[in-house]
Structure 1
């Protein structure tokens, strides 16, 4: 069952995040074969992300831990906490999934 990883940026990291964003995006792209979905989280009043969500295709929780703890944003203190939860599709691409 896939895992959802969610994180929010620590305070006062915006400029550092801008500097690291290309490296982070390259890391995400290099892992694309095992990512179901990935994207930034945005505040209502800004177009710059302040967190992220990844759905990792893995049956092993440790894979999700290893993925997020090797993300350049984590390694460089953009965020220091995250959540990981198992995930099961119910509706996908606007369509209910058979259960």
Structure 2
């Protein structure tokens, strides 16, 4: 069963996020085979709220933890808090898994 990883950035860390964003995007591209979905959390007006969501296709919490800890955002100290929970696929891209 996959894991959902949610991150929250430290306050006032947009400059740190922008500095490490190219390396973060490269990391995601290099690990695309593990990602079912990922993206930044946004306000209703489309502005970044400082954090993201990743759904990683792994059966191990240790692998999910290793994935987020290898992310350049994590290595740069961007995150204030990280949550990792198991996730059961029910609907994804208009496909029902039930």
Moved more, 31-40 or 88-97: 88-97
Number of the residue aligned with 1:65: 65
- List, as ranges, runs of 4+ consecutive aligned residues in structure 1 with deviation greater than 4 Å: none
Matches within 5 A, 1:1-99: 1-48=1-48, 50-98=50-98
> In the alignment, is the contact (CA less than 8 A) between 1:4 and 1:86 conserved in 2?
yes
TM-score (norm 1): 0.89
- Give the unaligned 5+ runs of structure 2: none
5+ residue gaps in structure 1? none
Aligned mates of 2:11, 2:5 — CA distance in 1: 19
**Larger % of strand: which?**
2
Give TM-score scaled by structure 2 length.
Answer: 0.90
Q: Equivalents in 1 of 2:95, 2:59: separation in Å?
A: 24
| Number of aligned residues | 98
